[in-house]
Amino acid sequence: MHITLVAGARPNFIKIAPIIRALDTYNEKYGRAFFHWRMVHTGQHYDDKMSDIFFRELGIPTPHSNLGVGSGSQAEQTARIMMAFEKELIENATDLVVVVGDVNSTMACAITAKKLNLKVAHVEGGLRSRDRTMPEEINRIVTDSVADYFFTTSVSAGANLICEGMLPEQIFFVGNTMIDTLAANLHKARKPALWDRHQLTARHYLLLTLHRPANVDDKTRLNRLLSEISALAAPLPIVFPVHPRTRNKINELTVPNLICSEPLGYLEFIYLMHHSAGVITDSGGVQEETTWMGIPCVTLRTTTERPETVSIGTNEVIGDDSEKLCHALQLIISGKWKKGSIPELWDGRAAERIVNILSQLTL
Ligand code: UD1
Ligand code: UDP
């Protein structure tokens, strides 16, 4: 079976790593190359700290092809990925294209593959925030509307797909490959240099990530948000690894107790999550990782496509309500945050399940 795996942005690399490992393990177990896989990096993310560091830390092999599309507007980036990926697929025959997550690379490659009449599998299919102002929600809906197979992280994702007319036999509830990576790497988590520099101690700091356009693209709103978080968290320090989208907007900002850094590598970032008092974020993946680790998570969005992190896990979605933020931080600081549990099948074996199912498909 010839498989083309697509990854383009930071969370994609984390989700694809265990799938590659499971494909290789399957081949080794059966002593023959049942799976012939090719990995295509679209180049959506390209800084060392947004891309290569994940390949090094997670042992992901060098991609067979890097489309080098870089940044652009939504339409420009999507179009460039489609043009380059079409050429890639024509030159390298494949039976199945596997896309992960909800970034522009996911949607662009799914559409391109289907228009060449190839089968498409979507890992993390079926998630819905119902907020169509987010580019990711459009990416999810469009990707799922063309995909043939769905590997889901939750029962509710499968139910969303059924509501949209997909057939039960197309949907496989397998668990979460992002959690596979976390479970496999937590013991390798590494203290970042900033820990000693700022004399951090476990459970006495907060971790912050922000990169959603709604939170960061407007400089005034971003600055207000950061000042507010800083004031409410004081005297706790807040570690803030700054996403490149956010970086340009906060050049001249100095907020007390905010420790800004470059985006961190995975092993340093999970160390900081694991030892924090709590995390404030608008990330999708971080909502899941904090739930798995039992770390309090405050999500600065009005919706989540990952409802189990709230209903079962340690996440609360608070929008941009200052009073809710104040209350949430008080609960975290006083150690009274809700306790969560781990969603079904988030057990580190999702990729193994995916590969076993792939081996049974008649394409
Ligand atoms: C993208 C995804 C988002 C995901 C996030 C993960 C879409 C629509 N958005 O958002 O769903 O949560 O990745 O991090 O696909 N930039 C750099 N260096 C890089 C990459 C980006 O400087 O390596 C800067 C560029 O100025 C670029 C901006 O960041 O214009 C945004 O990058 P882009 O990939 O368009 O979107 P993200 O905000 O990263
Ligand atoms: N992450 C990281 N370094 C950072 C910030 C995040 O390694 O400085 C990891 C984090 O552990 C998670 C993933 O990146 O696995 C999430 O990526 P991001 O928040 O950019 O994307 P999203 O999940 O929102 O699409």
Point out the ligand 1 atom lying closest to the alpha carbon of residue 104.
Answer: 15
- The answer to whether residue 191 scores a pLDDT higher than 90 is yes
Would you give the distance in Å from CA 213 to the centre of its chain? 16
- Residue 248 pLDDT > 90: no
Binding site membership of 47 for ligand 1 (Cβ less than 6 Å): yes
Q: Which of 46, 245, 289, 300 to mutate to test the pocket of ligand 1 (most atoms within 8 A of CB)?
A: 245
Atom of ligand 1 nearest to the CA of 284: 12
The answer for residues whose C-beta is within 8 angstroms of residue 269's C-beta and 6 or more apart is 241
CATH 3.40.50.2000 fits 2-175+346-358, yes or no: yes
pTM, full prediction = 0.98
May I ask the CATH class of domain 187-334?
alpha beta
What is the Å distance from ligand 2's center to 129 Cα? 18
Q: Which residues are annotated as catalytic?
A: 211
Question: Ligand 1: distance of its center to the CA of 70 in Å?
Answer: 9
DSSP string, 69-109: -----HHHHHHHHHHHHHHHHHHS--SEEEEESSSHHHHHH
At 117, is the pLDDT very low, low, confident or very high (cuts 50, 70, 90)?
Answer: very high
Ligand 1 pocket check for 122: Cβ under 6 Å:
no
Looking at all shown ligands, the one closest to residue 11's CA atom is 2
Give 6 Cα–ligand 1 centroid separation in angstroms.
16
- Average pLDDT estimate for 329-352: 97
User: Does 210 have pLDDT greater than 80?
Assistant: yes
pLDDT at 291: 99
Q: Is 251's pLDDT higher than 80?
A: no
Quick one: pLDDT band at residue 254, thresholds 50, 70, 90? confident
In whole angstroms, what separates CA 173 from the centre of its chain? 18
pLDDT on residue 140: 99
**Rounded mean pLDDT of 251-269?**
88
Domain with CATH 3.40.50.2000 in the chain: 2-175+346-358, 187-334
Instruction: Summarize pLDDT for 9-55 with one digit per residue, the tens.
Output: 999 999 999 999 999 999 999 888 999 999 999 999 999 999 999 99
Q: What is the mean pLDDT of the chain?
A: 97
Residue-level pLDDT at 256: 81
d(CA 177, CA 345): 10
Chain segment 295-306, per-residue pLDDT in tens: 999 999 999 999
pLDDT in tens, 212-247: 999 999 999 999 999 999 999 999 999 999 999 999
DSSP 49: G
- Tell whether the model's pLDDT for residue 252 goes beyond 80: no
The DSSP output letter for 164 is T
- Please report, for the chain, how many H helices and E strands are present, in that order: 16, 13
Q: What are phi and psi of 334, to 5 degrees?
A: -90, 5
User: What percent of the chain shows pLDDT beyond 70?
Assistant: 99
C-beta separation of 189 from 267 below 8 A: yes
Phi-psi bin for 70: left (phi > 0), alpha (psi -120 to 50), beta? left
Q: Buried (b) or exposed (e) across 85-96, using 16+ Cβ within 10 A? A: bbebbeeeebeb
Collapsed DSSP state (helix, strand, coil) of residue 37: strand
Closest ligand 2 atom to 266 CA: 7
Distance in Å, CA 11 to ligand 2 centroid? 6
